[in-house]
Amino acid sequence: MSNQDSLPPVLDLSLDGGALTARLVDIPSVSGDEKLLADAVEAALRALPHLTVDRYGNNVVARTHLGRAERVLIAGHLDTVPIADNLPSRVEGDLLYGCGTSDMKAGVAVQLRLAATLPAPNRDLTFVFYDCEEVAASRNGLGHLAAQHPEWLAADFAVLMEPSEARVEGGCQGTLRVRVTLSGTRAHSARSWLGDNAIHHAAEVLGRLAAYRPRRVEIDGLEYREGLNAVDISGGVAGNVIPDECVVTVNFRYAPDRSEAEAEAHVREVFSGFALEVTDSAPGALPGLAQPAARAFLAATGGEARAKYGWTDVARFSALGVPAVNYGPGDPNLAHKREEHCSLSAIAECERRLTDWLC
């Protein structure tokens, strides 16, 4: 391979947001294979004299140092889900089609445009481009940065460019999954009185779930709705055997005013008397909309904020003490689809609103 062949693709940050998005989309970056794109992003940012640039793995962080009273962090992930015969990108009218257009290379393009066009913003800025968001949490680049270089992520407020149809989605829910194990005694089904059917014991677990009344919690003017639901049930040995074990998997989606420990304690209280095992847990994130930067952000972006239902990486910022919101030009309903696309006008409008906020 020649030296020229080994050079990263060139990203022209003078392109408009839509054209830059197309360029990003045409550089494949499936989770675990982001190096080429990370190289291109790093090279483009290092050419901007008003930024200092650091890199850890395939994670790139660029910062201004203007001595402003506040620092805002704008983050986006470089990776996509596997390509589904949807590259290269193509334009049809106002729509740009291709893998990662909505989730979330349109948002990354906006980040890069802001980095290039705002050498003297009204707040100091940190731009974070990270890898492996679409796969296991243990591989998440933002998590690696938080563990190895938390000082790079120091900020007063953060914006995660997750697709949100250019509407502010505050914070995120926490999530907890538990296995409720029910025990019985195995026997021949023809002599069932000699056994104790573990599956039948699930009736009480399901009854508690059916009777459960989830909270609705208002935080910073946003309503978060909790939910406690069975998402899997397994049991049984054979068609002629009374089962001696049944497992019900329950998922608790909880408002961000609860900690992980409080969420677990609540679920254990609901299922008092049953054996529980926590299999997965991730904390929520408070919206932080009372922060001055957040209020200014809402005013600049227009419309009313809504609560984020689901978990996103804003929770990582919350764990660092940085209030964060989700805001990006993509449509979350199109993420990961074969026909994934993003509106070119939405990309331009998102960039304009963020520019207004930062100027």
Is residue 79 among the annotated active site residues? yes
Q: Give Cα separations from 276 to 3, 5, 212, 279 (angstroms).
A: 57, 55, 17, 9
d(CA 234, CA 273): 20
d(CA 16, CA 96): 13
Whose CA is closest to 271, among 209, 198, 349, 221?
Answer: 209
Q: Which of 39, 42, 79, 226 is catalytic?
A: 79
Is residue 269 among the annotated active site residues? no
8 Å CB contact between 332 and 103: yes
Q: Which of 34, 39, 42, 133 is catalytic?
A: 133
8 Å CB contact between 194 and 333: no
Whose CA is closest to 178, among 227, 117, 251, 92?
Answer: 251
d(CA 339, CA 239): 44
What is the arrangement of strands in the sheet containing 341-343, beginning at the earlier edge strand? 90-92, 95-97, 341-343
Amino acid at 132: C
d(CA 268, CA 209): 13
Residues 6+ apart with CB under 8 A from 57: 131, 141, 144
Task: Return the structure tokens found at 152.
Answer: 């790079």
Amino acid at 320: L
Q: What are phi and psi of 340, to 5 degrees?
A: -50, 135
Task: Return the structure tokens found at 282.
Answer: 């991730």
The catalytic residues are 79, 133
